């Protein structure tokens, strides 16, 4: 087991480089299933979740080369078996369910273990299945599995009840090899959807409207070799922006896309954080006194739910009353319990959290309950009086590449230590 030990109160300075987006590379790795030729993904973040989905692909007999030295992954799925996936691996990471659409698109049938829920919510897949059945798949769910069969996938008009990121991705990938045109209405508009579409189009897919609420996919017969460089991780960049604000520091963040960061820049600016954009970099100055604000998480381009926990930590240190409303997931305030161990004043009422600013967090022993809750605890530890020890940091490693190394380079007093439980 490993834990992080943070001595709070340090001012940070210098520069940090953002990695490529976890929520881009996971669907892109799944999409290689569609393509029997070589797929090369550059600037691959070496994250736990990336290794899991690569293991899932290997379990399906894909040829996967992970080049950690050059941050590159090369995949060839020419010899893919359309057998069932490895249950244990699929259950380990629910994003593995993103192989359903491409496997169905390529082989016309696939059986996979139902993805579990997780700490932040039940994470249903009804919209994924509704979309795949609209393409002509016969879906059966039972004994903890979901199976999809289709002699041929036929393009169709699908209107999503909710702009689900995963459902949009699964349908897009299945439709890429379907006969005719598929139109996805009320589609997710996240930058990661656009990045997946760019990857698919680079392979030869016919897609338009990505990034809007209506995406059109015209099925093709086959694909060609592709090399792709994913977009930067807007959530990692946002996490470091909040790092500057909560430690009252000024530093530079390299590897950002201003458009993708708009909702985060808007809310931090409203609080009094000064930001200066220079092409793919942003200088964040959190040294001024900040004001309390209200936050409501929404699908993109609204304020991202993946930034909610980190924002909660920041708002706990701002005098006055702030309210966070979490509209995307039903149980995404787990970090509040741990933040209260550090002295936070937070009242949870259903989907709302009322936060009264405190003078400072006090260092404590806390546990990461999920990926972004873990990031929120690091932020609190960086500004806390005394020492904070964070356990179960495997959650954090799923979405942040060597976060303690990046923070150390900025001047934080943070160490990763191994221990036996």
Please say which residue, 121 or 209, places its beta carbon nearer to ligand EPZ. Answer: 121
Q: Cβ distance 414 to 404 under 8 Å?
A: yes
Longest dimension (CA), the chain: 64
Residue 35 CB partners (closer than 8 Å, separation 6+): 77, 203, 223, 224, 225, 226
Q: How far is the CB of 129 from ligand EPZ (least distance, A)?
A: 7
Please say which residue, 325 or 360, places its beta carbon nearer to ligand EPZ. Answer: 325
Give DSSP secondary structure letters for 330-352. TT--HHHHHHHHTT-EEEEETTE
Q: How far is the CB of 385 from ligand EPZ (least distance, A)?
A: 29
Please say which residue, 325 or 362, places its beta carbon nearer to ligand EPZ. Answer: 325
Cα dist. 63→37, 238, 400 in Å?
Answer: 11, 34, 26
How far is residue 246 CA from its own chain's centroid? 22
Q: How far is the CB of 356 from ligand EPZ (least distance, A)?
A: 26
Q: Alpha-carbon distance 139 to 18, whole Å?
A: 40
Coil vs helix vs strand at 72:
strand
Please say which residue, 153 or 167, places its beta carbon nearer to ligand EPZ. Answer: 167
- Please return the burial class of 311, using the count of CB atoms within 10 Å of its CB with bins 0-12, 13-18 and 19+: buried
Cis peptide before 330 (omega within 30 of 0): no
Residues that bind ligand EPZ (CB under 6 A): 22-23, 26, 95, 121, 123-128, 162, 164-167, 188, 305-306, 328-329, 371-372, 399
Q: Alpha-carbon distance 74 to 90, whole Å?
A: 21
Coil vs helix vs strand at 391:
strand
Which token pair is 334? 């787990």
Please say which residue, 12 or 194, places its beta carbon nearer to ligand EPZ. Answer: 194
Place of tokens 């991202």: 304
Residue 251 CB partners (closer than 8 Å, separation 6+): 12, 13, 14, 15, 16, 244, 283, 284, 410
Please say which residue, 103 or 318, places its beta carbon nearer to ligand EPZ. Answer: 103
Q: Cβ distance 251 to 410 under 8 Å?
A: yes
Q: How far is the CB of 188 from ligand EPZ (least distance, A)?
A: 6
How far is residue 356 CA from its own chain's centroid? 28
Q: How far is the CB of 225 from ligand EPZ (least distance, A)?
A: 25
Q: Radius of gyration of the chain from Cα atoms?
A: 21
Please say which residue, 131 or 357, places its beta carbon nearer to ligand EPZ. Answer: 131
Please say which residue, 129 or 339, places its beta carbon nearer to ligand EPZ. Answer: 129
Q: How far is the CB of 80 from ligand EPZ (least distance, A)?
A: 22
138-142 and 157-159 beta bridge pairing:
unpaired
Which token pair is 339? 């933040």
How far is residue 266 CA from its own chain's centroid? 20
Residue nearest to ligand EPZ (CB): 166
Q: Cβ distance 89 to 98 under 8 Å?
A: no
Q: How far is the CB of 179 from ligand EPZ (least distance, A)?
A: 24
109-113 and 145-149 beta bridge pairing:
antiparallel
Residues labelled catalytic: 118
Q: How far is the CB of 370 from ligand EPZ (least distance, A)?
A: 7
């Amino acid at each position: 087991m490993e834990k992080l030990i943070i001595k709070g109160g340090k001012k940070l300075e210098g520069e940090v480089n953002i990695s490529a987006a976890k929520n881009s590379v996971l669907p892109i790795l799944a999409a290689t299933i569609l393509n029997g030729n070589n797929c090369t993904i550059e600037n691959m973040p070496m994250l736990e979740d990336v290794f899991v989905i690569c293991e899932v692909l290997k379990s399906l007999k894909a040829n996967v080369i992970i080049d950690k030295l050059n941050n590159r992954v090369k995949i060839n799925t020419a010899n893919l078996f359309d057998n069932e996936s490895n249950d244990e691996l699929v259950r380990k990471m629910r994003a593995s369910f993103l192989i359903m659409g491409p496997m169905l698109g390529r082989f016309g049938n696939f059986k996979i273990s139902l993805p579990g829920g997780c700490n932040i919510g039940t994470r249903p897949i009804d919209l994924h299945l509704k979309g795949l059945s609209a393409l002509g798949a016969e879906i059966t769910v039972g004994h903890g599995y979901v199976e999809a069969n289709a002699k041929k996938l036929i393009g169709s008009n699908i209107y999503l009840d909710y702009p689900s990121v995963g459902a949009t991705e699964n349908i897009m990938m299945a439709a890429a090899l379907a006969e005719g045109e598929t139109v996805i209405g009320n589609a997710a508009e996240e930058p990661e959807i656009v990045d997946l579409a760019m990857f698919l189009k680079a392979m030869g897919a016919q897609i338009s409207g990505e990034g809007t609420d209506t995406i059109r996919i015209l099925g093709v017969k086959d694909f060609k070799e592709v090399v792709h460089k994913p977009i930067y991780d807007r959530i990692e960049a946002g996490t470091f922006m909040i790092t500057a604000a909560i430690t009252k520091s000024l530093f530079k963040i390299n590897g950002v896309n201003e458009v993708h960061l708009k909702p985060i820049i808007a809310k931090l600016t409203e609080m009094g954080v000064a930001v200066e954009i220079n092409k793919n970099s942003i200088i964040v100055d959190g040294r001024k006194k900040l004001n309390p604000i209200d936050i409501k998480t929404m699908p993109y381009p609204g304020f991202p739910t993946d930034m909610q926990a980190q924002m909660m930590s920041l708002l706990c240190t701002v005098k006055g009353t702030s309210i966070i409303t979490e509209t995307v997931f039903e149980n995404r305030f787990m970090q509040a319990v741990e933040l209260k161990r550090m002295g936070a004043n937070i009242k949870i009422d259903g989907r709302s959290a009322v936060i009264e600013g405190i003078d400072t967090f006090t260092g404590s022993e806390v546990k990461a309950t999920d990926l972004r809750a873990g990031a929120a605890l690091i932020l609190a530890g960086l500004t806390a009086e005394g020492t904070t020890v964070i356990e179960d940091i495997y959650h954090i490693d799923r979405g942040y590449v060597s976060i303690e190394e990046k923070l150390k380079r900025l001047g934080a007093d943070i160490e990763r230590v191994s221990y036996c439980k």
